[in-house]
């Protein structure tokens, strides 16, 4: 009996150490009041996104829940209004798998909202499920859709500066390896899905890095944020139904609650004094170093150019476009002469490395002269 009690005690002690060192997230403080400011959170009808939106609403922000499902989005907006006591929480339809939907959202937002102070790209998928598309669905939802949305909303972010863009990434980016010759190929099978998910998370980190360079001096800063291991719908969505009852108790024990997963994205959105770290990757409310593939400036710029073409962005729709520019009507069908083709041809996407412009002549990396000390989040 004594041996059994000792074993149980050791297990409990080990769990407490694991929980407080690896699972429990430090709380985010940052700006106490967001009154008069507007935030957009994608995928905010559940999980990390909903908890992120709740905290922003509690601090007085006007919060736009950008979600695919109208029913779930409206229900989440109602819940958040009730829980936060803030009536400025609204739903707007956004399906990141559809470039037309992204453009429609941007058009609606720019025509109705005079400010945009915080843009949080939280929505994402980890599997294609039963959906079969002629493109890489994981890259489309996790990177290309957010890339296009950021471009279309940049004029409003700039006029509202100082403002921030937060891209929710993952530690899975460390396994990513971008193959620019196969970037938008359809994904088939669970092995390809695992690889494509890691690649899309690497794309998130490189996007934040390049966006920081493109927006240097504009007052808009951007960050990649890892929420940590989180017990959310993304974790169980594609697990077979018979296995879920077995995994739920385990997930409850070793994974963070969505509220904990929201802390690092909130830190990146709200913490004062981290502007010099624009473009960096954060986890557990402090900046973390990334592997060489995630800090490759040439790859970041090449991904930027490939993403522009995959997103159907025309020559006049770059990050330096006029402040008053508006996205064109997304309802118009694409045609060969359209400036925003829905699906660019593969031959347009990948210029030969020998013919590409030298990275150093295009832009300059933001110098980070000193690391900020990690602060209480």
Query: Could you give the 3-state DSSP secondary structure of residue 258?
Result: helix
Q: Which strand (E) or helix (H) includes residue 167?
A: strand 163-168
Length of the chain equals 377
> Is 281 part of the annotated catalytic residue set?
no
Q: Which of 15, 19, 20, 197 is catalytic?
A: 197
Q: Cβ–Cβ contacts within 10 Å for residue 23, how many?
A: 18
pLDDT at 134: 87
Residue with tokens 């010099």: 276
Q: Kindly state the tokens that stand for 319.
A: 């990050």
Q: Which strand (E) or helix (H) includes residue 198?
A: helix 190-214
Domain 7-311 has CATH 3.40.50.720: yes
> How far separated are the first and last CA of the chain, in Å rounded?
43
The DSSP bridge partners found for residue 221 are 164
Identify the CA nearest to 292 among candidates 189, 177, 197. 177
Residue 223 to residues 96, 276, 277, 309, Cα–Cα distance (Å): 20, 11, 8, 23
Q: What is the pLDDT along the chain (377 residues), one digit of tens a residue?
A: 656 555 545 555 444 444 444 455 566 767 679 999 999 999 999 999 999 999 999 999 999 999 999 999 999 999 999 999 999 999 999 999 999 999 999 999 999 999 999 999 999 998 777 677 889 999 999 999 999 999 999 999 999 999 999 999 999 999 999 999 999 999 888 888 889 999 999 999 999 999 999 999 999 999 999 998 765 665 555 555 666 666 666 665 666 688 899 999 999 999 999 999 999 999 999 999 999 999 999 999 999 999 999 999 977 665 444 444 444 443 333 333 333 444 443 334 434 434 444 433 333 444 433 334 444 44
Q: Is the peptide bond before 286 cis (omega within 30 degrees of 0)?
A: no
pLDDT at 13: 47
Per the CB < 8 A criterion, the answer to whether 62 and 245 are in contact is no
Per the CB < 8 A criterion, the answer to whether 151 and 72 are in contact is no
Q: Is 331 left (phi over 0), alpha (psi -120 to 50) or beta?
A: alpha
Q: Phi and psi (nearest 5°) for 292?
A: -55, -40
Per the CB < 8 A criterion, the answer to whether 225 and 268 are in contact is yes
DSSP 369: -
Angle at 147 between CA 136 and CA 269, to 5 degrees: 125
For the chain, the domains span 7-311
Query: Can you tell me the distance from the alpha carbon of 342 to that of 333, in angstroms, rounded to the nearest whole number?
Result: 9
Query: Can you tell me the distance from the alpha carbon of 255 to that of 229, in angstroms, rounded to the nearest whole number?
Result: 5
pLDDT at 4: 59
């Amino acid at each position: 009996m004594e041996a059994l009690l000792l074993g149980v005690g050791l297990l409990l002690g080990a769990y407490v150490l694991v929980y407080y060192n690896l699972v429990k997230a430090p709380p985010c403080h940052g700006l106490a009041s967001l009154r008069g400011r507007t935030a957009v959170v994608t995928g905010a009808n559940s999980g990390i996104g909903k908890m992120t939106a709740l905290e922003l609403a509690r601090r007085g922000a006007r919060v736009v829940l950008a979600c695919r499902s109208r029913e779930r989005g409206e229900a989440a907006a109602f819940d958040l209004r009730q829980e936060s006591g803030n009536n400025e929480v609204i739903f707007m339809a956004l399906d990141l798998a559809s470039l037309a939907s992204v453009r429609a959202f941007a058009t609606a937002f720019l025509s109705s909202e005079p400010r945009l102070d915080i843009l949080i790209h939280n929505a994402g998928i980890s599997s294609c499920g039963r959906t079969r598309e002629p493109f890489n669905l994981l890259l489309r939802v996790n990177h290309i859709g957010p890339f296009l949305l950021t471009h279309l909303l940049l004029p409003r972010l700039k006029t509202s500066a100082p403002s921030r863009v937060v891209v929710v990434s993952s530690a899975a980016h460390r396994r990513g390896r971008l193959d620019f010759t196969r970037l938008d190929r359809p994904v088939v099978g669970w092995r390809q899905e695992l690889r494509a998910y890691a690649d899309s998370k690497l794309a998130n980190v490189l996007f934040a890095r390049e966006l920081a360079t493109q927006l240097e001096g504009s007052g808009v800063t951007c960050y990649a944020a890892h929420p940590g291991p989180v017990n959310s719908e993304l974790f169980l969505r594609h697990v077979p139904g018979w296995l879920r009852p077995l995994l739920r108790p385990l997930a409850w024990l070793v994974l963070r609650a969505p509220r904990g997963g929201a802390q690092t994205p909130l830190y990146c959105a709200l913490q004062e004094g981290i502007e010099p770290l624009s473009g960096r990757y954060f986890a557990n409310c402090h900046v973390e170093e990334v592997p060489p593939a995630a800090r490759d400036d040439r790859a970041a710029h090449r991904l930027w150019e490939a993403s522009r073409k995959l997103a159907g962005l025309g020559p006049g729709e770059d990050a330096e476009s006029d402040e008053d520019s508006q996205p064109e009507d997304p309802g118009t069908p694409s045609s060969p002469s359209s400036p925003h083709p829905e699906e660019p041809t593969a031959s347009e996407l990948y210029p030969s490395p020998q013919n590409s412009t030298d990275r150093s002549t295009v832009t300059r990396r933001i110098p980070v002269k000193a690391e900020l000390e990690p602060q209480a989040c």
